Amino acid sequence: MNHLGRRLDATAKMTWIGYNGGVVFRRTAHAAYDTAYHLVWSPKYRKQILQGAIAERVRQMFTEIAEHYEITIDEMEVSADHVHIFCSFPPRYSIAQVVTRFKSLSARAIFREYPQVKRQLWGGEFWEDGYFARTVGDKVTAEVIRKYIQHHRTEKESESQIKLFE
């Protein structure tokens, strides 16, 4: 069972098909699609609270939420003061719906499991209201976004600026 009280193996089925010269699409019962989104948001007040057990729990929650809602996470990084998710999801969901699910379900669980966090976030909200979203296109390819997110893992070790468009 996941945090929603549902069995993880009971998620809706999604199949992969090859189409149009080898381009791979995801498929649901009523749609074939090839979407990719880079999503970023921060804890309230950009507090550096996504560390240790809380960061690990956020990663776990995001994975469970993704499995339940047919969201495919390609890359994910939980930094101390923000998260990056590179993902794909069925066209029946808007970007705002997906971000809201990730933020609301994870916040509820974090506040329940780590009540001390509420003292650091005096407004009673875990995440900032806003978010950043970008689709993958011609100039910003999937590989560029993967490279950017992976760079965040080593950012603390090196102060060098990543070059996205070399």
Most distant CA atoms of the chain, gap in Å? 55
Q: What is the DSSP letter of 87?
A: E
Structure tokens, 71: 């969201």
Please identify which residue in the block is written with the tokens 């609301």.
104
Alpha-carbon gap, residue 120 to 56, rounded angstroms: 18
CB 39 within 8 A of CB 95: yes
The catalytic residues are: 148
* Angle of CA points 19, 145, 23, to nearest 5°: 5
